[in-house]
Amino acid sequence: MSTLSLVGLGISRKFITQDAIDTLNSSDIIIFDKYTSRSCDININTLRELVKGEKTFIEADRNLLENNSKIIFDYLDRNYNLSIASIGDPLIATTHISILIEVKRRGHQIKIVPGVSVHCYIISKSLLSSYKFGKSVTVTFPYDNFVDPAPYTVIKENKERGLHTIVYLDLKEDKAMTANDAIQILLQLEEKYKKNVISKSDIVIVGARLGCDDEKVIALTIEEALRFNFGSTPHIIIIPGNLHYMEADAIKWLLMS
């Protein structure tokens, strides 16, 4: 019986835990998940530096982890211990759960090492009440002129219940969506569906390069956000629902310039 560990590295180097390092050290093969998220200062070489002893390192894109995961099962069946190391938390806003189920079905062990997720980090830094967040959603790049309406629908449903929405932004091999692009897409969806979900005077909170020395957490109107330079990606957005007066004060005094 072998072990597959899903290791969360946290959103930047300073959040890598001892448990993460120990777990990587106990693995024969370390697969670095380079597609579910990005960090300003963690890459596969960071893991090479942190881990002791002879290891095999593999850099995995979506295709390897989602369509060719048989490679992982084969290694486990041949008695190798494996870690899949992800930026942030390995099971928040990722798709690794199906791998865990198959690993367990084959009679191997699984271990989960949580990491500091962008999800918790932006809730904390936004100063909004963690009790008042609804479903999260991702704005994806338009494909063949098709703009996925899911973010618009989710924000609408959350707002109807007074809840805040965390909006993740799409990542492709060579590019990461900016907050400006995402807001433009949300405005296009408003123009198409006209359900009064997004208006240019609404406040949004944008997080940029969270966990890095140059991180930004800024509250501003949608109109201002369209033109604002948030710096390099990754970016993330919160669309607030109904604000308690304490939340409104916190945003006004602490996050608006």
Ligand X SMILES: C[S@@+](CC[C@H](N)C(=O)[O-])C[C@H]1O[C@@H](n2cnc3c(N)ncnc32)[C@H](O)[C@@H]1O
Q: Identify which range of 42-50, 89-97, 127-135, 224-232 contacts ligand X by CB under 6 A.
A: 89-97
Rule CB under 6 A: say whether 234 interacts with ligand X.
yes
Other Cβ atoms within 10 Å of 222 Cβ, number? 20
CA distance 229 to 231: 6
Rule CB under 6 A: say whether 42 interacts with ligand X.
no
Report, in Å, the least distance between residue 121 CB and ligand X.
Answer: 7
Q: Identify which range of 44-52, 57-65, 102-110, 167-175 contacts ligand X by CB under 6 A.
A: 167-175
CA distance 91 to 112: 9
Question: Which of 207, 241 has the CB closer to ligand X?
Answer: 207
Query: How far is residue 117 CA from its own chain's centroid?
Result: 7
Rule CB under 6 A: say whether 168 interacts with ligand X.
yes
Rg (CA), the chain: 20
Pairing mode of beta strands 29-33, 82-86: parallel
Rule CB under 6 A: say whether 216 interacts with ligand X.
no
Rule CB under 6 A: say whether 140 interacts with ligand X.
no
Residue 235 and residue 208 in contact, taking contact as beta carbons nearer than 8 Å? yes
Among 4, 29, 51, 89, binds ligand X (CB under 6 A): 89
Question: Which of 2, 36 has the CB closer to ligand X?
Answer: 36
Residue 100 and residue 4 in contact, taking contact as beta carbons nearer than 8 Å? yes
Rule CB under 6 A: say whether 210 interacts with ligand X.
yes
Residues 6+ apart with CB under 8 A from 152: 186, 189, 190, 193, 195, 197, 198
Rule CB under 6 A: say whether 119 interacts with ligand X.
yes
Per-residue CA distances from 116 to 9, 164, 222 (Å): 7, 20, 28
Annotation-wise, does 92 bind a ligand?
yes
Binding site listing: 11, 89, 92, 117-118, 169, 210, 235
Query: What residue ranges bind ligand X (CB under 6 A)?
Result: 11, 36-37, 86, 88-89, 92-94, 117-119, 168-169, 171, 176, 207-211, 234-236
Binding site listing for S-adenosyl-L-methionine: 11, 89, 92, 117-118, 169, 210, 235
